[in-house]
Structure 1
Amino acid sequence: MTVTELTSPATEAAVPGKHRAAVSSALPPARGQSFLKLVTTELRKSVDTRSGRYLILGIIAIALAALGWQLTHMPTGPSAFDDFLSAASTGVVLLLPVIGVMAMTSEWTQRTALTTFTLSPRRVRVQLAKFVSAIVLSVVLLTVTTLLALLATAIGGATGSDGTSYAGMGGALAGAYLTNALNVVMGAAFGAVIAQTAVAILVFFVAPTVWSLAGTALFKDNADWLDVFGAFGRIAERDMNGMLPETLTALAVWIVLPTIVGLWASSRREVK
């Protein structure tokens, strides 16, 4: 009786294997995170922080203040949407790139890189999701300011005596959206390269400004090849003015090159 109750070593080895097979078959298959999931996660992270919310509120507040000033200082003639859109875009142009910078530096300055890249080891996909989320958020904010500009234009036309003018509205909006998207990508690229929020913001604002001031004095007309502000202005006005090569070169140097370097640096930066 005792002999028949004993199990052979082969049987004992087989039982754990069957158990493991049953457990593994009961577990759902592992799935990688979709890129859309990464983008929505990064969007939520951008607005969940106090600094992110204050920045968004600051952009809207500046837009409202600029539109209020425009309404109280309207020139003679019809209420022009282009004028109100330019006024409302002031805060957007100044502060939207900071969203891009903060999106790229948050993992390193808030010391969450270890958690993020443990859950999503493919760093380049995470960084690209940050780029996309910053662009999406900038589009949303620019749409809000555009609606405010439309409302202010209507108010100006109703309170004035010359009506309203929406001439060139489509072109103005296309130029504004494209310029602001490029501006945000440029800020995100600087954030990816430097990875420290304060330093990245400082360099983002100072470096192009210094070049626009000193470049003309040093290189005369050749400074246009690296003048990113001039490139943005031509894109916003939908007029290259015969300077398409200079515009593309400035965008490549200030946006494309930092983006490539930033993605490379982020993929090799030590996680602590």
Structure 2
Amino acid sequence: MAVSEITSPVVTAAPGKHRAAVATALPPARGQSFLKLVAIELRKSVNTRSGRFLILGILALAVAALGWQLTHLNDGRQAFSSYLDAASTGVILLLPVIGVMAMTSEWTQRTALTTFTLSPRRIRVQVAKFVSAILLSAVVLSATTLLALAGTAIGGSVSGDGATYAGMGGALAGTYLTTALNVVMGAAFGAVIAQTAVAILVFFIAPTAWTLAGPALFKSNADYLDVFGAFGRIAERDLHGMVPQTATALAVWIVLPTIVGLWASSRREVK
């Protein structure tokens, strides 16, 4: 028999069956856990030059405030609350920018397509951004607290009158809670506006403008939308009988923008 006459059968699998076989051979796809999303967002916040400079700038501001406090010592024992107020005033003012940048970075740096392709459930990603911003601000505030503790000890030693840490727990609780609310407010503005510069500008101007103009227009009723007054009462851990005013201010300036921001982010066009 000639060689050319010898043929071997060729088995060709149907394309559909081949794809099915490959699909069953691959491990099942698993969604990303929420903790992993939070860790990713935390890494995004500190892996950029702007994020690192912002954090370093905030801590440098705290060091400068403590330096001023140490060069203008009061008579008597040095109170930790005074050093904490000096170190955290500027920090609390700037920490919400972390929240703004966490929510706007995807859109201003044009990475939203990659992020939402890998994690299509946008609301879940946005909530992870909120949580990561709160955690990062808590870390920065903790570093500021350690600086305040060191400053109090140094001040007590230099003055010769010693230091006092009375009311330390309450002061820290109020500061951390107010900071978390402030950062959430910043993140909510960022989620609504999605442009870093504009969101930061609106965040600082809008509530300040109301604080200045509200009392002249609405007298005591302006307290219902005075978010800074609400923050102050929360920091003091005493609402002064103004529970409706405090709750309304938080709802208007934090809860409502958060809901609107999550809704807008879920529907915003990805380019």
Same fold (TM over 0.5): yes
Taking a change above 3 Å as real, the CA distance of residues 29 and 83 of structure 1, as seen in their structure-2 partners, is: same
Partner of residue 86, structure 2: 87
Partner of residue 198, structure 1: 197
CA-CA distance at 1:4 after TM superposition: 9.6
SS state at 2:31 partner: coil
Letter paired with 1:261: V
Letter paired with 1:23: V
Taking a change above 3 Å as real, the CA distance of residues 4 and 188 of structure 1, as seen in their structure-2 partners, is: same
Q: Distance in 1 between matches of 2:201 and 2:101?
A: 12
Taking a change above 3 Å as real, the CA distance of residues 201 and 14 of structure 1, as seen in their structure-2 partners, is: closer
Letter paired with 1:207: A
CA-CA distance at 1:82 after TM superposition: 0.3
Q: Distance in 2 between matches of 1:95 and 1:89?
A: 10
Q: Distance in 1 between matches of 2:52 and 2:13?
A: 59
The count of aligned residue pairs is: 268
Q: Assess if the C-alpha contact under 8 Å between 1:189 and 1:255 holds in 2.
A: yes
Partner of residue 170, structure 1: 169
1:1-272 aligned within 5 A: 6=9, 12-13=12-13, 17=17, 19-20=18-19, 22-272=21-271
SS state at 1:40 partner: helix
Letter paired with 1:195: A
Q: Assess if the C-alpha contact under 8 Å between 1:89 and 1:145 holds in 2.
A: yes
Q: Distance in 2 between matches of 1:210 and 1:16?
A: 65
Q: Distance in 1 between matches of 2:16 and 2:85?
A: 71
Q: Assess if the C-alpha contact under 8 Å between 1:109 and 1:195 holds in 2.
A: yes
SS state at 1:121 partner: coil
Taking a change above 3 Å as real, the CA distance of residues 6 and 241 of structure 1, as seen in their structure-2 partners, is: same
Per-residue Cα deviation, 1:100-135 (whole angstroms, up to 9, x for no partner): 000000011111111111111100001000000000
Q: Assess if the C-alpha contact under 8 Å between 1:81 and 1:165 holds in 2.
A: yes
Taking a change above 3 Å as real, the CA distance of residues 194 and 163 of structure 1, as seen in their structure-2 partners, is: same
Q: Distance in 2 between matches of 1:21 and 1:129?
A: 35
CA-CA distance at 1:163 after TM superposition: 1.3
CA-CA distance at 1:23 after TM superposition: 3.0
CA-CA distance at 1:20 after TM superposition: 4.2
CA-CA distance at 1:24 after TM superposition: 3.1
Q: Assess if the C-alpha contact under 8 Å between 1:62 and 1:90 holds in 2.
A: no
Taking a change above 3 Å as real, the CA distance of residues 16 and 241 of structure 1, as seen in their structure-2 partners, is: closer
CA-CA distance at 1:3 after TM superposition: 11
CA-CA distance at 1:15 after TM superposition: 8.9
Letter paired with 1:110: Q
Per-residue Cα deviation, 1:52-110 (whole angstroms, up to 9, x for no partner): 11100000000000001111112112110000000110221121000000000001111
Identity of aligned residues (%): 79
Q: Distance in 2 between matches of 1:69 and 1:4?
A: 94
SS state at 1:28 partner: coil
Q: Distance in 1 between matches of 2:149 and 2:210?
A: 35
SS state at 1:55 partner: helix
Taking a change above 3 Å as real, the CA distance of residues 26 and 224 of structure 1, as seen in their structure-2 partners, is: same
Indicate the RMSD between aligned Cα atoms, in angstroms. Answer: 1.8
Letter paired with 1:75: N
SS state at 1:220 partner: helix
SS state at 1:232 partner: helix
Q: Distance in 1 between matches of 2:117 and 2:15?
A: 34
